[in-house]
Amino acid sequence: MTNNGRIAIIDLGGQYCHLIARRLRDLATDSTIFPPSVRSEVLSHYAGLILSGGPQSVYDPDAVSIDERIPALDMPILGICYGHQLLAKLLGGEVGRRDGEYGLAQLRTSTLNSFLPPHGETSGAGPLFHGTPPAQRVWMSHSDAVCELPRELITLAGTDRCSCAAFAHCSKPLFGLQFHPEVAHTEFGEKILENFVRSICGIGEAEPAAGRVPALCERIRRAAAGKSVFFLVSGGVDSTVAFVLCAIALPKERVLGLYVDTGLMRQGETDELRANLGRLGLTDRVRIWDASEVFLKALETQIDPEDKRRVIGRLFVEIQSQALHQFGIDPDHWLLGQGTIYPDTIESGGDSGRAAVIKTHHNRCDEIRELIRQGKVIEPLTELYKDEVRELGRELGLSAHLTNRWPFPGPGLAIRCLCTLTPGGASAVSPEIAATIAHDGFDGVVLPLRSVGVQGDARTYRRVFALAQKDRELDYQKLGKLSSALCNDNIAVNRVALLIGGNRPLTDARIVPATITPERVELLRQADFIARSEIERANLADTVWQFPVVLAPITFQDGESIVLRPVNSVDGMTASFACLPSDLLLTISNNILALPGVDAVFLDVTNKPPATIEWE
């Protein structure tokens, strides 16, 4: 029987499962995502199968698994991360808890696999790695690993912390990869997937998709079906692109935008929105609603990041319905429009119930989920990632100024204004760690202040490792290695921050109780403005993907600390800390230190994973 030329993907609950389908789409290859319960006979006419990652351990009694007949199907199978471990286990291998490995790792492919046909002069590790070099940069997120392989499986590659980072079956097209070829940060990930799809599964290239705008507009018209759309706009690229699409797809009078000023926006945000709307000719289609007092009041008692996010999501829904009422709009004839993109959904736990909640995005709070269940929400971009939305914006003719804007999260500065009720001092690190970091010219402490991370496809909420160095020049390579090692070795921390401003001994650092107050938000807004202005002045704004600025209740005297978090990313799913010139950071830091109430400035030097981009 000929196969259908498509790839089947089994979703085992990983953060990047949908991203596999997106990468295949980039390779003009169609795919279908199935739940783990899919029966082997349903898959038999597919050209190949990919098993995604997932947050569990394959040896847990209630671990998610697949139909045990699947590995025996006469089709190529590629297991990724949890899928790699599951495939190895089903084929008779052993999986156990090993060292953590999060973010960047150096992969070395083996050349010993002479049984596998060599392809060209590159890695020699068989068809999966064809055209890739023997040493390559990959992105990892695991603490379990395959520790023993059955005889018919052969190790193709390893890293310093993972001896079996890739395997192949000696006679069947079965492969496993501990790293994630689907994420943008894996250097040759796309090539590896292309090898799997083209030379291993034998799928030719499908017709490249035509421009997206007509298809999306058609979908909006069908989804709106006679109703109008009341759109929550923030001025950011996602909601603007989604709003413009609705305004093109539907008669103008059926689309109205609502911009809620939460009081948690960056400096000048509302003015910039007005200017952008003017340029788009949509000024008369958007109402501005000042809800800053309501938001700040409701947040005054919220400490926990997830509580903050839930409160903010609920307030957006409440304000939207108040606005409907005030504008005399009949709620039964209007849908709520949002610029939700796929990462918002998956980080909020996805729709399948298998993925972990990393953080509840404001547009995925319970109230919105309920409205979705009732069919009252329209979200044209839910299948897309940030880079695809930017591309769509360009297709729509939006200005580069708008499409290239740094992402700004819906909950705004609230999730960058860290809160705690528990005071605490810095903890000294173990003598071994102290000796290791001293060797690299650093000293360090662990601070009892927690931030969100994503490790092994699950949420972590761990402490911060603070570093200080004598040199003014930043050696980013050294910092990157140290940061990875500290988070990989130490399950108590998921983030590393380097003190760059305020000459204090780290041992003096203390965490002080802090809540959201208008004064703290204003201080953060000013620090954020300084960072943005300086990087724009240096003409370097386009060299970073996003630049959160965080207010942390880390005190040395009587003020707090500001953390700079410039990152590079493609889609926000993985990120690396950005390496800005030391001089620019020093200028930013000095200007921020001049603000009353700031004791110190830190630079976050953590990748995603192990940390997320935002601290909360």
Active-site annotation, residues:
81, 180, 182
| SS3 at position 215 | helix
* 8 Å CB contact between 381 and 242: yes
**CB closer to ligand XMP out of 30 and 318:** 318
Q: How far is the CB of 381 from ligand XMP (least distance, A)?
A: 11
- Closest by Cα among 77, 58, 61 to 69: 77
**CB closer to ligand XMP out of 254 and 362:** 362
**CB closer to ligand XMP out of 528 and 614:** 614
The C-alpha atoms of residue 8 and residue 39 are separated, in whole angstroms, by: 12
- Closest by Cα among 537, 535, 468, 463 to 494: 463
Cβ contacts of 187 within 8 Å, gap of 6 or more: 136, 137, 138
**CB closer to ligand XMP out of 347 and 534:** 347
Helix (H) or strand (E) holding 427: strand 427-428
Interface segment toward ligand XMP; rule CB under 6 A; list 14-22, 248-256, 343-351, 525-533: 343-351
Interface segment toward ligand XMP; rule CB under 6 A; list 64-72, 240-248, 354-362, 433-441: 354-362
| SS3 at position 340 | coil
Interface segment toward ligand XMP; rule CB under 6 A; list 48-56, 323-331, 356-364, 508-516: 356-364
Q: How far is the CB of 258 from ligand XMP (least distance, A)?
A: 16
The C-alpha atoms of residue 562 and residue 363 are separated, in whole angstroms, by: 27
Member of 410, 444, 453, 456 binding ligand XMP (CB under 6 A): 410
**CB closer to ligand XMP out of 125 and 237:** 237
* 8 Å CB contact between 230 and 329: yes
The C-alpha atoms of residue 17 and residue 24 are separated, in whole angstroms, by: 11
Member of 194, 347, 379, 388 binding ligand XMP (CB under 6 A): 347
| 29 lines the binding site for ligand XMP (CB under 6 A) | no
Interface segment toward ligand XMP; rule CB under 6 A; list 43-51, 315-323, 514-522, 607-615: 607-615
**CB closer to ligand XMP out of 76 and 453:** 453
The C-alpha atoms of residue 555 and residue 25 are separated, in whole angstroms, by: 48
Q: What's the distance, Cα to Cα, between the start and end of the chain in Å? A: 51
| 546 lines the binding site for ligand XMP (CB under 6 A) | yes
Q: How far is the CB of 358 from ligand XMP (least distance, A)?
A: 6
| 130 lines the binding site for ligand XMP (CB under 6 A) | no
Q: How far is the CB of 393 from ligand XMP (least distance, A)?
A: 16
Interface segment toward ligand XMP; rule CB under 6 A; list 212-220, 254-262, 353-361, 535-543: 353-361
**CB closer to ligand XMP out of 361 and 532:** 361
The C-alpha atoms of residue 364 and residue 306 are separated, in whole angstroms, by: 12
- Closest by Cα among 236, 190, 238, 460 to 342: 238
Member of 48, 572, 609, 610 binding ligand XMP (CB under 6 A): 572
Q: How far is the CB of 407 from ligand XMP (least distance, A)?
A: 4
Contacting ligand XMP within 262-321 (CB under 6 A): 309
Q: Where does residue 522 rank: exposed (0-12), middle (13-18), buried (19+ CB within 10 A)?
A: middle
| 612 lines the binding site for ligand XMP (CB under 6 A) | yes
Please report, for residues 9, 21, 126, 196, 211, the alpha-carbon distance to residue 204 in angstroms, rounded to integers and kept in the order given.
18, 16, 20, 12, 21
Helix (H) or strand (E) holding 140: strand 135-148
Interaction pattern, residues 369-408, with ligand XMP; x per rule: CB under 6 A: --------------------------------------x-
Reported residue count of the chain is: 616
The C-alpha atoms of residue 418 and residue 203 are separated, in whole angstroms, by: 49
Cα radius of gyration rounded to whole Å, the chain: 25
**CB closer to ligand XMP out of 75 and 550:** 550
**CB closer to ligand XMP out of 343 and 566:** 343
* 8 Å CB contact between 368 and 348: no
Beta strands across the sheet bearing 377-378: 286-290, 255-261, 228-233, 334-337, 377-378
Member of 142, 180, 362, 532 binding ligand XMP (CB under 6 A): 362
Interface segment toward ligand XMP; rule CB under 6 A; list 104-112, 295-303, 339-347, 523-531: 339-347
Task: Establish whether the linkage from the previous residue to 134 is cis, with ω within 30° of 0.
Answer: no
**CB closer to ligand XMP out of 173 and 407:** 407
| 409 lines the binding site for ligand XMP (CB under 6 A) | yes
Binding footprint of ligand XMP, residue count (CB under 6 A): 18
| 11 lines the binding site for ligand XMP (CB under 6 A) | no
| 359 lines the binding site for ligand XMP (CB under 6 A) | yes
What single letter denotes the amino acid at residue 581?
P
Q: How far is the CB of 218 from ligand XMP (least distance, A)?
A: 26
Member of 14, 411, 456, 559 binding ligand XMP (CB under 6 A): 411
The C-alpha atoms of residue 54 and residue 33 are separated, in whole angstroms, by: 14
* 8 Å CB contact between 388 and 573: no
Which residues contribute to the site for ligand XMP (CB under 6 A)? 309, 343-344, 347, 358-359, 361-362, 407, 409-411, 546, 572, 608, 612-614
